[in-house]
Amino acid sequence: MAKDIYDTFRDIGIIPVVAIEDASKAADLAHALVKGGLPASEVTFRTACAAEAIEAMIKAEPDMLVGAGTVLNVEQAEKAVKAGAKFIVSPGYNPDVVDWCIKNNVPTMPGISNPSEITACINKGVTHLKLFPAERKGGYKIIDDFGGPFPQCTFMPTGGVTTE
């Protein structure tokens, strides 16, 4: 299942990251994203209604790929998956969250910003990684730099990403 999700990420090309303050607006957002050609979303756990918003988006658009972002601990990962999240994204590498995701067969993209964190992820068998904060770490240039010693990894840049 994880390969399908990562293929979907690649096919879409951009995954909207949303922080929803009002879960009653989540269904409309899901409809708009799908209609606009973006059938995926990462709902951040920076708001109190993140799990409720995930559930509402999936109910509104059952074929939409909805996951949870800014997941900082196992409790949030559990809550997200219970709400229907299909993947977990974290701003940093938390071995407890990664281990929980692996144990529960939930695709995860831990945040990394240096070679030590990349190596820790690879040692757990996780090679799809969130580069965060991408722009502050060097943007596409650091992805090229990381790609040399870590060709098995795929990086999703987040934070300060622009059309340039």
Q: Where are the domains of the chain?
A: 2-111
Domain 2-111 has CATH 3.90.1010.10: no
pLDDT level of residue 1 (50, 70, 90 thresholds):
very low
Give me the helices (H) in the chain, please.
2-12, 26-35, 50-60, 74-83, 95-103, 115-123, 134-137, 140-147
Please give the positions annotated as active site: 42, 130
Full-model pTM? 0.92
Q: Is the pLDDT of residue 157 over 60?
A: yes
For the stretch 83-135, pLDDT in tens is: 999 999 999 999 999 999 999 999 999 999 999 999 999 999 999 999 987 67
What is the four-CA torsion angle of 85, 87, 88, 91, rounded to 10 degrees?
A: -120
- Cβ burial of 64 (10 Å; 0-12, 13-18, 19+) is middle
